[in-house]
Amino acid sequence: MYWEEIRKSAHFKEHHKGTLAWSEVVRLIYTIKNKRKIGDKIKIEDNKFYILCELKNKILYVINVKRK
Domain-wise residue ranges, the chain: 5-67
41-60 mean pLDDT: 94
Give Cβ neighbours of residue 54 (< 8 Å, ≥ 6 apart): 9, 40, 41, 42, 60, 61, 63
5-24 mean pLDDT: 92
DSSP state of 48: S
Could you tell me if residue 57 is left (phi over 0), alpha (psi between -120 and 50 degrees) or otherwise beta? left
Share of the chain above pLDDT 70, in %: 100
Kindly report the CATH class assigned to 5-67.
Answer: alpha beta
pTM of the model: 0.89
60-67 mean pLDDT: 94
